[in-house]
Amino acid sequence: MKSTVKDVGDVRVISLDGKITIGAGDVQMRSLVESALADGRTKILLDLKDVTHIDSSGIGEMVGCYTTVARRGGAMKLLNLPPKINDILQVTQLITVFDVFDNEAEALASFPR
């Protein structure tokens, strides 16, 4: 999995590309979120536009990241869900947990100031 990171105001935008799967992408995603928290960034937007696969480990890490960020008083939201990733979030009913956006400006504006 590849990733790019940028800060827009006080929001850390993490763009992921490829597979969020066991032993590779899942660990990398957690590391990116932990790095954001270590930098004092508690508003995190995960851009999943180029994610092709997310297995149960990847979903588990995503939930773990979500709760870790929330415990730190922050928020983690999702941007640009590809149809198959959306299907998986629907099936697992996690679509009810995450705030999901398909427009970056709207997603950024949704974080509390």
Partner 1 sequence: MALQSRYENIELAEHLLGEVGRDCDVDEETLYWIGMALREALANAIKHGNKLSAAKRVFVEIEAAPQDRVTIAVEDEGEGFDPSRLEDPTSPQNLLRSSGRGVFYMKSFMDEVRFLPGERGGTRIELVKRLAAGRV
Residues near partner 1 (CB under 8 A):
21-24, 53, 55-57, 59-61, 63-64, 66-67, 84, 91-94, 96-97
Nearer to partner 1, 8 or 100 (CB): 100
Taking the complex as a whole, the smallest distance from the CB of residue 10 to partner 1 amounts, in Å, to 25
Taking the complex as a whole, the smallest distance from the CB of residue 82 to partner 1 amounts, in Å, to 11
Neighbours of 62 (CB within 10 A): 23
Q: For residue 68, give the amino acid letter.
A: T
Nearer to partner 1, 85 or 108 (CB): 85
- DSSP letters spanning 76-95: EEEE---HHHHHHHHHTTGG
Give the C-alpha distances (Å, rounded to integers) separating 58 from 21, 37, 39, 78.
5, 19, 23, 14
Neighbours of 39 (CB within 10 A): 11
Nearer to partner 1, 96 or 113 (CB): 96
Nearer to partner 1, 9 or 73 (CB): 73
Taking the complex as a whole, the smallest distance from the CB of residue 56 to partner 1 amounts, in Å, to 4
